[in-house]
A and B are shown apart, each in its own frame.
Chain A
Amino acid sequence: METYKINGTEDTPSIILDKTTNTFEISGRSLPEDVVTFYKPTIDWLEAFGNAPNNNFSFDFKLEYFNTASSKIILDILMKLDEVAENKGASITINWHYDKNDDDMQEAGEEYAELVSLPFTFKAQ
């Protein structure tokens, strides 16, 4: 399966989805003008990956900032992963990275953790 990788800009995050190296990461700032269009390749990739996922992996969120529209998409991604864990028996951990001074980003992660059954590891930097 082909790797999906894009570099971040001032309003879009870096994304790496690499089945071969078992690396899955979204980092940076996410406030694109059109979240649906921006995240479509990511959602499509995860959809295909979900049919034959890796058995054991972590998905890293290293977001410095995201807007409310992105927050909806992040929830969709987490729910997709939740479904993959449930249906395919994959062991998935969410690594939620945040700046140790950023209480709002920590809380955002905690609120996601309440909504899905995937285990979250909180990593303050």
Chain B
Amino acid sequence: MEVTSIRQFHQLMESNKLIMLYEGEFTQEITKGVLAMTERNLDKDSVEAGIKKKIYNVMVEVLQNICKHQASSSDDAKTAVFMIGEDEEHFFVISGNTIQQNKIAAIEEKLNLINSKDKDGLKLLFRDLRLSATISEAGGAGLGFVDIARKSESKLKFQFDLIKDDLYYFIFLSTISKHTSENN
């Protein structure tokens, strides 16, 4: 599945089963609420514990990324979208938020680096980033993105769409297979 524009966001929601959608301001309280609600929904659908844990893991990193991003953004960048959907084979965790052009290059570089790595490469990257990150930048060192790639075991999908001037819309999608990998 490709998400390359805000319009496709809506198509995606229409064509797949939506488990939860939240739009608005993000805080730690909202994060906890979204997590609790999703856990309940996944329990209701009897999702396997290992898969549920992976979804939870990816959600926390995505939600806390948005919280930190919003905290450091000005006025018109305050609302974001977070959704979880599924099709026959996968769960999708998708976020969308506005972003200033000057922040794009660094994020793009991190995500492309992550997508160039295999499982062992990601393990090493995570180890090195965690060792070198100072606590204050632990949130901005890209550890969260690496963790999402490791736990979801799939390539990260992302897109930056121009809104106006130097303001872009950042769409981020991670995919979690409904079938546990047998190769561990």
Q: For window 135-159 of chain B, which residues contact chain A by CB distance below 8 Å?
A: 135-136, 138-139, 143-144, 146-147, 151
Q: Which residue of B lies closest to A64 (CB)?
A: B53
Say yes or no: B53 contacts A68, CB within 8 Å. Answer: no
Say yes or no: A102 contacts B135, CB within 8 Å. Answer: no
Interface of A is mostly: helix
The answer to whether B50 has its CB under 8 Å from any CB of chain A is: yes
Across the interface, which residues of A come within 8 angstroms of B49, CB to CB?
A: 101
Say yes or no: B144 contacts A76, CB within 8 Å. Answer: no
The answer to whether A44 has its CB under 8 Å from any CB of chain B is: no
Q: For window 85-125 of chain A, which residues contact chain B by CB distance below 8 Å?
A: 101-104, 111, 114-115
Say yes or no: A72 contacts B143, CB within 8 Å. Answer: yes
Say yes or no: A102 contacts B53, CB within 8 Å. Answer: yes
The answer to whether B28 has its CB under 8 Å from any CB of chain A is: yes
Across the interface, which residues of B come within 8 angstroms of A71, CB to CB?
A: 130, 143, 147
The answer to whether B60 has its CB under 8 Å from any CB of chain A is: yes
Q: For window 25-53 of chain B, which residues contact chain A by CB distance below 8 Å?
A: 28, 32, 36, 49-50, 53
The answer to whether A10 has its CB under 8 Å from any CB of chain B is: yes
Across the interface, which residues of B come within 8 angstroms of A11, CB to CB?
A: 28, 32
Q: Which residue of A lies closest to B151 (CB)?
A: A104
Q: Which one of B32, B64, B126 lies within 8 Å of A69 (CB-CB)?
A: B64
The answer to whether A57 has its CB under 8 Å from any CB of chain B is: no
Taking beta carbons and an 8 Å cutoff, which residues of B are in contact with A? 28, 32, 36, 49-50, 53-54, 56-57, 60-61, 64, 67, 123, 126-127, 130-131, 133, 135-136, 138-139, 143-144, 146-147, 151, 184
Taking beta carbons and an 8 Å cutoff, which residues of A are in contact with B? 10-11, 31-33, 35-36, 65, 67-69, 71-73, 75-76, 101-104, 111, 114-115
Can you list 27 A-B pairs with a CB-CB distance of less than 8 A?
A: A10-B32, A10-B36, A11-B28, A11-B32, A33-B28, A33-B64, A35-B135, A35-B138, A65-B60, A67-B60, A67-B64, A67-B144, A68-B61, A68-B138, A68-B143, A68-B144, A68-B147, A69-B139, A71-B147, A72-B138, A73-B138, A101-B49, A102-B50, A102-B53, A103-B50, A111-B127, A114-B127
